[in-house]
Chain A
């Protein structure tokens, strides 16, 4: 009450203090008051407060707490962050752009937009870990995200010839020679980025085929060989020298005698973890390390497995192991998990795909020992576990409540993998930490020895393909700068460009209507058919109709709502038309307090508030809660003064080719 009373007193005081207005009975109509007098001071605030039953004390904090400054939309991160999928993608793929191109039937263009960022659209359109999808705005608006990953596959499946669109490779090289160790996604990306700049790139691969874990660890029923061959072939076709069956045995020798200007280590995390429990040695012939076993299957060294298989671990490798087992003759496959389902490392969709194939996932079983009879594996004994969880779902205590035997003819261990570098001598200036992990700079990917770079799983342990690609891009920048004698730390900053999408009074060069279609499901080969051969791809990809419907679910988050405060006349048209109540014109305030005063609850703190500069008529601010904006453009369409505009954001995420021109005069001009 005190605050309100003060406020009211202030209000009356202002009226009384204004002698001109109080006492000038016979004067002509007063001249206009300056607009600045209408800034929402406390006394003026009452007129804007929608009050039931009387003004709440929200007036009070304005004197004590910091107001939000106008949002700096010139910072490249602001609009980038609005595009949730692109922000979440390690390689910053322009997802909404390629989805629109698919909608227009421009599949090759869509493929090239992808390729620029993630290099392997066909591969990633099948097996990406899709960090974009949990981030997708659509999942906040109506639960299910856009099927971004599977749309990427649509672009790859339907593209035409694209070799002519790949960067031209200069005939005259720049005299620099780079070695890449391992032919996985990270090394291939380095080659992809450096070959067009005139570098010679030699890739050393210990296996007989390039692709790294993409080929050896991902089963062909998820990722067909032909797709791998095509996309890897595109890079090799740029002129990379590929030395297959050529393991690097000594880094010292490579550095001393190879004659390379830089070395990139993209050798992955090839060492699967073992489980040293009683019986391990005796049952060795029927106990397999997951990633090694998958590799043996991929190269057809292993063609069968026993009838009853136990998989230890519930990561994505475990899912590949259980599904591969079913195709090699196993009848009963149990995946054994130590903890409850919410702690699983495997992606939800990989779990679903495995369960669709009648794999049983058994939780709360901790491996105790291998049971061996007559020198043969009979099964495994597990402790039955029980956990106490706190309110946030974290485990606070665990107990063993009993034990249980599961019969098995084979056990596959899929409990993690590590990078290992027995071939790197420890006296080369390449430092390792106490776990024998190399010390790698997270920005430049350079080791402690200048000119030696790490990327992919070799750098920071197992992640997924899309991370390896981004590591490759960043390492390529460093390699380029290193070879040109420039500091690897001195890198071009990301940028953003905006371009209006206005075509006419109510016409935008994007499909702005909200389409209520629900997420389409990718059709699968029937359960009966899919087990006939190991390499029958289970997912069929979207049909034309499904793709056409799914693309319309994208909310075009890259078509940004751009506000020009000085044009606003505060007519409220945008606020009234906004379907998701994102917009509010109100007095500025401290963020937490401001969030309580918006048209719709702004409880998602992950999503920023946009706050404009003070508006010229009242000094209030335009606030936009980015959380639920469906980018329909109605605010801009309803705006009589074009204070709102819809502008496409182009995120410029620099690659090696964007770095400042080289200092080497001999470098030929790139076509």
Chain B
């Protein structure tokens, strides 16, 4: 951590977004994570992505649970809404908030412990409901806050700092999400903002649950020789399959796409993601093939990265439940409450 806050002084010619704001205007409180933590890079990528989309800070809700990762939400967009929930229960809070106000951009930041251990059930059901949110897992394979025990995402054979070797199989959140029917599944690396920032932007624009599993090395407990989630190991073994270039709706698209290599996916708001396929025979719109390919690569020790699966046609929570277009919290009590008579009518249906 740092003792002086990041000075407010900025580069005089820093670019401004459509709202006239610079990246610096989207920063949050001073990070107290370890120097060199991957989570801080993800914070910076989120800041950049949100700035790039010109989102208004007051329209952003940041949600988290417990863990090093869950501190992240304090470190960007200090003008946004925030909720730091009970361990592993962030999806419930997001669910409730989203149900009440569908107009906000929900950004959940969680870790491998918060998501894959204590919060696994919540995580799975948020995916099933296709809750409209961006869900970022800052995945470092260890419980950093409790001194570096293996987490549920630690690979078999990965060595702890003191030499213990992990024997239990890892839970891969990407494969899990695919099997649960997720509509947007991506993986990236905190050390590759060039890939991560457009993925975050695409995830923020996706209507439905957008999962981005970000390998985020724990510089204190899991960045040594023998670790499979260190900076060096990740760089050696990660393989971009599909890079996403996010194109805002407003921008006219003038480039030609080479067929089979670039695949534009139109989002609900008219913006689009252009997928650059780096692996020729990979199809990011085929759930079964994607799942098989990811597993095949994993078997060879590769982390496949990029936007691995996307389906813009899937209905999200509000569509599935037929809620009104306006946020529920903007409706009058008369409209929201059925009244005694109405309640009787409803109950009568079940008698």
Q: Do A569 and B258 form a contact, CB below 8 Å, given A47-B192, A579-B6, A580-B10? A: no
Once bound together, how far apart are the Cα atoms of A573 and B192, in whole Å?
Answer: 12
Residues of B within 8 Å of A48, CB to CB, are 192, 194
Let me know if B236 is at the binding interface, CB within 8 A.
yes
Least CB separation from B195: chain A residue: A47
Once bound together, how far apart are the Cα atoms of A580 and B10, in whole Å?
Answer: 5
Residues of B within 8 Å of A54, CB to CB, are 245, 255, 257, 262, 274, 276
Once bound together, how far apart are the Cα atoms of A575 and B11, in whole Å?
Answer: 13
Least CB separation from A33: chain B residue: B236
Residues of A within 8 Å of B36, CB to CB, are 569, 571, 573, 638-641
Q: Is the CB of B194 within 8 A of A50?
A: yes
Least CB separation from A52: chain B residue: B245
Partner of B243, one of A5, A47, A573, A601: A47
B8-26 vs A, Cβ < 8 Å mask (1 yes, 0 no) = 1111111100000001100
Residues of B within 8 Å of A640, CB to CB, are 34-36, 219, 223
Once bound together, how far apart are the Cα atoms of A564 and B165, in whole Å?
Answer: 32
Least CB separation from A4: chain B residue: B258
Partner of B14, one of A46, A573, A581: A581
Instruction: Please give the distance in Å from B157's CB to the nearest CB on chain A.
Output: 8
Once bound together, how far apart are the Cα atoms of A617 and B217, in whole Å?
Answer: 14
What is the number of residues of chain B that contact chain A, defined by CB distance less than 8 Å? 65
Residues of B within 8 Å of A660, CB to CB, are none
Partner of A579, one of B7, B13, B15, B235: B7
Q: Is the CB of B231 within 8 A of A49?
A: no
Least CB separation from B223: chain A residue: A569
Let me know if B300 is at the binding interface, CB within 8 A.
yes
Binds B, one of A20-28, A116-124, A305-313: A20-28
Within 8 A of A (CB), among B32-54: 34-38, 40-41, 43-44
Q: Is the CB of A30 within 8 A of B300?
A: yes
Q: Do A601 and B13 form a contact, CB below 8 Å, given A49-B194, A51-B194? A: yes
Once bound together, how far apart are the Cα atoms of A12 and B40, in whole Å?
Answer: 33
Q: Is the CB of A576 within 8 A of B40?
A: yes
Let me know if A628 is at the binding interface, CB within 8 A.
yes
Instruction: Please give the distance in Å from A297's CB to the nearest CB on chain B.
Output: 45
Instruction: Please give the distance in Å from A642's CB to the nearest CB on chain B.
Output: 10
Residues of B within 8 Å of A27, CB to CB, are 300
Q: Is the CB of A573 within 8 A of B37?
A: yes
Once bound together, how far apart are the Cα atoms of A24 and B257, in whole Å?
Answer: 32
Residues of B within 8 Å of A24, CB to CB, are 300
Let me know if A261 is at the binding interface, CB within 8 A.
no
Residues of chain B touching chain A, judged by Cβ–Cβ distance below 8 Å, are 1-4, 6-15, 23-24, 34-38, 40-41, 43-44, 190-195, 197-198, 217, 219, 223, 231-233, 235-237, 240, 243, 245-247, 251, 253, 255-258, 261-262, 274, 276, 278-280, 296, 299-302
Q: Which 3 interchain pairs have the tightest Cβ spacing?
A: A640-B36, A29-B301, A514-B7
7 further contact pairs, Cβ within 8 A, besides A53-B274, A55-B245, A142-B12: A25-B296, A29-B301, A514-B8, A516-B8, A570-B235, A572-B41, A576-B40
Q: 26 interchain pairs (CB within 8 A)?
A: A5-B258, A8-B276, A38-B236, A47-B240, A50-B193, A51-B245, A53-B247, A53-B251, A53-B274, A506-B3, A514-B7, A516-B8, A569-B219, A571-B217, A572-B190, A572-B191, A576-B44, A579-B10, A603-B13, A617-B231, A632-B7, A637-B2, A638-B36, A640-B36, A640-B223, A641-B36
